[in-house]
Amino acid sequence: MNLAATHTTSRTILATPRAIFRTLLDPETIPSWRPPRGMAGRIEQFDPRPGGAYRMIFQYPHDDAARDKCASGAVIIDGQFIEILPDERLVEVVRFDTDDCRFQGAITVTTMLEPVKDGTKVTLSAQDVPPGLGEADHRAGMDAMLKNLANFVE
């Protein structure tokens, strides 16, 4: 039996917690840094308040080899904001809109911002990760997202 897991990663970003936090909740900028490499993103719904929901679609370009990861070429993510502590912490519950039971379930994603000498240490922790998201691949994706975020705000 595969049990849900917790995956965590961090990166120091050369920006203030405030600049990073604003970017985390800005629907205009999220498509620039949040989608995985090789995908384009768009926001269909975004209500950044505790209890507010969002829907993001990450789309592979047509005929791309990476498209094999999902039959439709798109990943639909439904999320809800659970806790918003400005410049400190953001807690979301994320679900993939899929019929594949390996990827179903609610993932709690916590983004923590900690001021450090050279900027801000950003830590992502994903709890209750479904078995379809292998740890190595998921952690690589989280690392890439933090790198994209750093490139965007630095």
Q: What is the pTM of this model?
A: 0.86
pLDDT of residue 80: 97
Burial group, residue 135, by CB count within 10 angstroms (0-12, 13-18, 19+): exposed
Number of domains in the chain: 1
Distance CA 47, CA 61 (A): 27
CATH number reported for the structural domain that contains residue 96 in this entry: 3.30.530.20
pLDDT of residue 82: 98
Q: Which residues of the chain have pLDDT under 50?
A: 1, 64-69
- The parent domain of residue 106 ranges over 5-153
pLDDT of residue 1: 46
pLDDT of residue 66: 47
Say which residues have a Cβ less than 8 Å from residue 4's Cβ, sequence separation at least 6. 105, 127, 128, 129, 130, 131
Distance CA 125, CA 57 (A): 21
Residue 9 phi/psi, 5° resolution?
-155, 160
pLDDT in tens, 52-72: 999 999 887 765 444 444 555
